Amino acid sequence: MAMDTNTKTVLRLSAVVVTMGALAWASVPFYDWFCRVTGFGGVTGVASSGSDTILDQTIKIRFDGSLDRDMPWKFKPMVREMELRIGETGLAFYEAYNPTDRPVAGSAAYNVTPYEAGGFFTKIDCFCFEEQILQPGQRVEMPVTFYVDPEIVTDRDAKYTHTITLGYTFYEIDLPEAQAALAQNAEPDTTIN
């Protein structure tokens, strides 16, 4: 029994829709993997310790902080800029404050610009590695420890970078159930405002 033209067209269009849906579903994890491997999109490296090599050449690091439009915290870098020798370990702090009357959990997304420098900006420790929970009225200082890999000076594109900007955006996330129960019983920190 032969299929008519309309049936073939519907089947082909259905196959295209299914294929496009599968590609859309796979694009986010693939893009994340691609960025982590190549440093594209400003994705940083991660290390367990500082660099073994420190150059005499310096680089400026700028810090930026923003919030998703639904995030009720206040969030900002404590220092807007610092200059380090390439390979030297840096320590910067961001300040977060929860002005609400309820516990709020947040997760930080980050990026580095210019993008070609992302693979050379290496974090040793960062508040962005874990979810953060602030109690009502709580203010915290959140550290990020990092260095710029000395290999940046030999990279074809990144060697012309003189300033790197590290930016974070905090998003509100659901409070984990165990933490939510614990937070309900905790007293708010009113000593720091």
pLDDT of the residue at 124: 94
Domain residues of the chain, as ranges? 1-38, 41-185
Q: How confident is the model at residue 38 (pLDDT cuts 50, 70, 90)?
A: very low
CB neighbour list of residue 131: distance below 8 Å, 6 or more residues apart: 105, 106, 107, 173, 176
* Contact predicate 64/166, CB 8 Å: yes
* Contact predicate 81/141, CB 8 Å: no
**Rounded distance, CA 124 to CA 147, Å?**
8
41-185 has which fold? Ctag/Cox11 (Pfam 04442) (2.60.370)
Is the pLDDT at 147 greater than 80, yes or no?
yes
pLDDT of the residue at 7: 84
